[in-house]
Amino acid sequence: MLYWLLKEIQATPEFDLQIAATGMHLSPEFGLTYKEIEKDGFKINKKVEMLLTSDTSSAISKSTGLGMIGFADAFNDLNPDLLIVLGDRYEIFAATTVAMFAKIPIAHIHGGETTQGAYDEAIRHSITKMSWWHFVAADEYQNRVIQLGEDPGRVFNVGGMGVDGIKNTNLLKKGELEAAINFKFGDKNLMVTFHPVTLEDETSGQQFGELLKSLKKLIDTKIIFTYTNSDTNSRIINSMINTFVKDNPTTAVAFSSMGQLNYLSSLQFVDGIIGNSSSGMAEAPTFKIGTINIGDRQKGRLKADSVINCEPTKESINRALNTLYNKDFQKDLLSVKNPYGDGNATKKIMKIIQNTPLPAELKKEFFDL
């Protein structure tokens, strides 16, 4: 999601781009995607190793601590004037906490959003309080960041970075994509992306099992699975994905990481996204495809009319699938508007950081409503 912003910074003479890669980017289990960063023409200045092999709550806490140690050394060596971060994950929480202690100004992208089923919500709002500039995706999110006490003059609605990426990317044609991912699309196709609901007690296996029960009943349907991120209890989901693909080799395929180009290109040729990923809320509507949003992980986010909410039960998921393929619903998708904007977020962010001086000091007054 940061690709186009990195390219703009890289091409701007007055800026010196420095990249610190961490978390899943450095993990063989999740595809060693730092190689994708390098393949796209970027230099990684620091690699901050932090992930443990376990996905327990204790391991996540320890990984965050390791991240803070690693970022303390990285920022001391790089001495950045500004840290730009996107999102709400614990890896970013580690980086921003260190930057705050080091008095490095922080620009935070995609603040103000709510995800009531995940601890990402608390992390996201914490990063907001540590940040100086805020680049949000919608008016509602802008208002929420201000509600958290941030100066309205430093809160900017630039739209969603995912939409920006879609508009700027030359997506692959079907034949090119099929060759790239070694997968043939069928008459019906679904993208499945499901992550743990981290504020629930070990529901990953049970909820994902209900989804798989529904998928097993589908006829003449090809399924693309993407692995989870490195959250608490994520590995059980990946194991269940592997078993399903092994049992259904002609109709299902799984990727630890598709890469942004392949992933976005695939959304052109699937009937919908099913799972609980933010991508189903923020990117899928731009492709005029449906999203089946399962459970509470994304509860509270803005959603387009293309999003079908359902409970994490086989019966509820089956009803949602019936809605997805309903002719009237499919017709209505053509007029869906994405609440995360129409693109151009990168240009807006660049204009602001180019024309706004760095703060002399990072003392912030709480903005009372």
- 272-275 and 188-193 strand pairing: parallel
For residue 310, the cross-strand partners are 294
Sign of CA dihedral 289, 145, 228, 257: positive
Half-sphere exposure of 155 (CA within 13 A, CB side): 23
Q: Which amino acid is at 367?
A: F
Q: Which pLDDT belongs to residue 198?
A: 66
Q: Which pLDDT belongs to residue 201?
A: 66
Cβ–Cβ < 8 Å for 307, 288: no
Tell me the whole-structure pTM to 2 decimals. 0.88
Q: Which pLDDT belongs to residue 199?
A: 66
Which three-class secondary structure state does DSSP give residue 188? strand
Domains and CATH numbers, the chain: 3-159+344-355 (3.40.50.2000), 174-335 (3.40.50.2000)
122, two tokens: 């608390």
Pairwise CA distance, residues 350 & 118, whole Å: 30
What's the burial of 43, exposed, middle or buried (CB within 10 Å: 0-12/13-18/19+)?
A: exposed
* Nearest residue to 283 (alpha-carbon basis) of 153, 168, 202: 168
Q: Which pLDDT belongs to residue 119?
A: 84
Q: Which pLDDT belongs to residue 300?
A: 86
Pairwise CA distance, residues 163 & 282, whole Å: 7
38: left (phi > 0), else alpha (psi -120 to 50), else beta?
alpha
pLDDT tens for residues 192-211?
A: 999 877 666 678 889 999 99
Half-sphere exposure of 329 (CA within 13 A, CB side): 19
Which three-class secondary structure state does DSSP give residue 317? helix
86, two tokens: 């996107």
Q: Which pLDDT belongs to residue 235?
A: 85
Pairwise CA distance, residues 274 & 292, whole Å: 5
Pairwise CA distance, residues 293 & 284, whole Å: 11
Given a cut of 70, the residues of the chain with pLDDT beneath it are: 198-201
